[in-house]
Structure 1
Amino acid sequence: MFILFITAILLVGCSSKTEEKSGKPLVVTTTGQIADAVKEIAGDNVEVKSLMGPGVDPHLYKATQGDLQTLEQADTIFYNGLALEGKMSDIFEKMKKEKTVSAIGEVVPADRILSDPMNPKLADPHIWFDIDVWKIAVAEITKTLIEEYPDNKDEYKKNEKAYFDKLDELSNWADTRINEIPEQQRVLVTAHDAFSYFGNSHGMEVRGLQGLSTNSEYGLKDVQNIVDFLADENIKAVFIESSVSEKAMNAVIQGAKEKGHTIQVGGELFSDAMGAEGTEEGTYIGMYKHNVNTIVDSLK
């Protein structure tokens, strides 16, 4: 009986290892946004694994032992950079000595990178919310894949063009939808300052209770400033984020209530993480559409 048990364990182990070895290059990414872009460009030519799933906050993420093993097994690694994955920076620097590790956000020209209004030296890493800027980062994925796996060069270029056409269509659609919101109501208030690129590209004012990182502390004065702004501008809705605790926005809603101004939650937005794999929101385009529809339907 004991021998049968040990044999079963060994078979399971062998099966797991066999499943992990697909025969394709393993490309590992940090965020779902990057993983989705790699899949669009590479198609079925590589196996893609994302370390951070739905509801995961990359600002606070700490690599697990399993993550380190996955990164060791990877043939190529893509991450956002610009301090988004702040707690993993040292890991990526060490990995660069062993394999190709690409920080796709750090190829974006400096004049296209937004900064923290309170600290101009601090780059805003949320580049995926400006579609034109995101295309620059995705082009770096294509370039790296061609360098690493040149046999599929033509396919990668073809896939990039098709994907960029879809992104241009998405951008035009988003502009049309946002134009449904009365100009004075085009104000997006969220838990942390993740949507400046979005506001910049679609003509919306954006306010976040916390700074660029969810690691930023917020105090009573920050809450009061947001509450005063909402009341003065007669803004009726704020938004929560799938990867951030609702505690911050609940404090704003309560503060507004005490001031006699009613605020409702306009809905949940995807900010630093996308939706579940296999759902529409689990793709970059689906996530972006969800956010636009949620914002417009609540503010118009």
Structure 2
Amino acid sequence: MSSASLATLRLVEKEVITFIGSAIFLAGLLGGILNITVFLSLQTFRQSSCAFYLTVMSLLNSCQLFTTVLPRILGAIIGTDGSDTSFFFCKFRLFSIAVGTIFSLNCFCFAIMDQYCATCSWPRLQQLCNLKLARCLVCIFGTIWVLYAIPYWIFYNQVVSATTGTTVCVMTNAVYVQIRAYFNSPVLIGFLPIVTTVTFGLMAYRNLQKMRFYTVPLVRRELDKQLTSIVLIQGLINTFVLSPYAIAFIIALTVNVANNAVLKAHIDFSANITFTLFWVYYAVSMNQN
């Protein structure tokens, strides 16, 4: 691949991040305001544990639009996302991305599990769908993910690149680089949410088909149908946007590109494009009401 072809590849990547990223940011921001307003204003949603999980997820995703999407857009336009100029932002941005993304996906998994329990015919499982338990789980797992992400705050630092001579924000601990590479991104952000979504989504859908045979109040039945439809649509979207990200990440880890600049350029391009596709999760999760 010639230098001109490499430059074209980088230009396409920049255009995708700039224009598609901007569309995702604006759609997510506008939709997020509507989504959160609906969940907080309607009494039926305020009393639902599933809606509570979705509200927390929407709030987290709103923050991710500003910490993940917007800096990457600015980086593509002006050449810097701010992490190379601000020591605090270098640490805060990656810390908040780790906490926000994992916690958001965690809340969605709780939401789809909650709807499986809500639509199940077993009273014991139905009893798990309550706001008290939902608030406890959100507080407990929120604390867990904040503690889990502390190494991001400690080990992300500004260093001067030996090849370019510019300041970059990178993980400086080799052990945690491996943990992040082989567990955090492919498992916690990739395949674990996908497997949970598919498994409980299919079971919730099956329960929903059986609900017409249950003796259930009409209002509750309609609410469960609406919430189950929301989480099933979101689950389908998650599968399509998370799978390419996880696959591209694994390929980038396993393929040796040390002596092949062309292959490295293609893998980096694929990784950045699938990461841009991943941003759809932040925006679409807010535009379903």
Q: TM-score range by the shorter chain?
A: under 0.3
Higher strand share: 1
